[in-house]
Amino acid sequence: MKLRSVAIKLLTQIVTAFGGQRVGPLTPEEVHRLDQQREVIARFLADDESRAKYESVAGKLGTLRALLERKKFQPTQTYELQCMGVVLGDAFVQEMGMEWVMVEDERGADPAVRLPGTSVIIYPLTMISKRVEKAETVNVFDLFNGVASEIDRVKSIADEAK
């Protein structure tokens, strides 16, 4: 199952977070870049009602679903697909109390979402783009719920170990 591979990847990222990665807050420039990416998606909100719905997690995910169903972005439009990933990340922040951070390693620096006070880190920018680029069908609600469930599971294991 695809969600199982997401879970395995999440656990791998948690383990590798202990070795060689530096995690820190976003700089003002990085915050600005994410805001610009959010704006790419917000342009598709046609009216006040859709903008109001977008404020909720379900509204964000619904907007992403509609864009995917209408094939607004082609597999070659990586930047725009990663803009969708920013909105997906915002949904994790909003629903699960996560925070945007910058993760730096030997390959470079990438924005990510972390469960505060833990090494639980996910990379939402590429969660949608990689799947679309592979011509996979993306159900953002299933993706979100699957990853959220795994984060909750890892969090409960960590809580039990305390």
Mean of pLDDT over the chain = 90
Fold (topology level) of 2-161: Four Helix Bundle (Hemerythrin (Met), subunit A) (1.20.120)
State the DSSP string of the chain: -HHHHHHHHHHHHHHHTTSS-EEEPPPHHHHHHHHHHHHHHHTT--SHHHHHHHTSHHHHHHHHHHHHHTT-S-TT-HHHHHHHHHHHHHHHHHHH--EEEEEEETTEEEEEEE-TTSS-EE-THHHHHHHHHTT----HHHHHHHHHHHHHHHHHHHHHH-
* Amino acid, res. 151: I
Segment 56-73, tens digit of pLDDT? 999 999 999 999 999 999
- Give me the pLDDT at residue 1, please: 43
Query: What radius of gyration do the chain's Cα atoms show?
Result: 16
Q: What percent of the chain has pLDDT over 70?
A: 88
Cβ proximity of 104 and 119 under 8 Å = no
Alpha-carbon span 132 to 88, nearest angstrom: 14
| Residues 22-34, mean pLDDT to the nearest whole number | 96
Question: In terms of pLDDT, which residue wins out, 115 or 162?
Answer: 115
pLDDT of residue 115 exceeding 90: yes
* Amino acid, res. 30: E
pLDDT of residue 126 exceeding 70: yes
Segment 82-96, tens digit of pLDDT? 999 999 999 999 999
Across 108-139, b (16+ Cβ under 10 Å) vs e yields eeebbbbbeeebbbbbbbebbbbbbeeeeebb
Confidence band for 157, pLDDT divided at 50, 70 and 90: confident
- Give me the pLDDT at residue 111, please: 97
* Amino acid, res. 156: S
Count how many residues are written for the chain.
162
Least confident interval from 85-94, 97-106, 148-157: 148-157
